[in-house]
Amino acid sequence: MGPHRLDSGGLMEQDRRTSTGVTRVASAVDPCTRAATFKALRPALDALASAAGDDPRLSAQARRVLRAVVRTGPQATLAIADLAARSSTPKTHVPGALAELEAHGYLARLAEIAPHLAAALPAGAPPGNTDPA
């Protein structure tokens, strides 16, 4: 199994490697359930963003990128270009901001709160893909 991501319609996709290539598999969660899930997680995600905002170890870019991640709605994506636009951070700086967030434990906390968001981070971004394939 490969990395997960949100597709343009907000569905969770997963790259599944097969002998003939990579196949995308989308979850069949209905839009109302997906929206309710995001709403239920909002207080914990807002608390995470607030903690990052108060953390002097984090750069302003890392704080903005985390804020963009935690404010991802059911119809948004976590592609680097989208994160860059929503965080007012240059595209080339987003991977570094994600690495900084990982180094200080914020992506691990994100994974505990909202595994679907952590798993949907751009490929190659922390927390590193542990799948060797």
Segment 44-95, tens digit of pLDDT: 999 999 999 999 999 999 999 999 999 988 778 899 999 999 999 999 999 9
pLDDT in tens, 75-86: 788 999 999 999
| Partners of residue 63 on adjacent β-strands | none
CA 31/CA 84 separation, integer angstroms: 25
> DSSP strand E in 1-133: where?
4-6, 12-18, 21-26
Residue 26 vs residue 103, higher pLDDT: 103
Please give the model's pTM, rounded to 2 decimal places: 0.70
How many other C-beta atoms are found inside a 10 Å radius of the C-beta of residue 117?
21
CA 96/CA 115 separation, integer angstroms: 21
CA 28/CA 68 separation, integer angstroms: 25
The phi, psi pair for 24, rounded to 5°, reads -95, 130
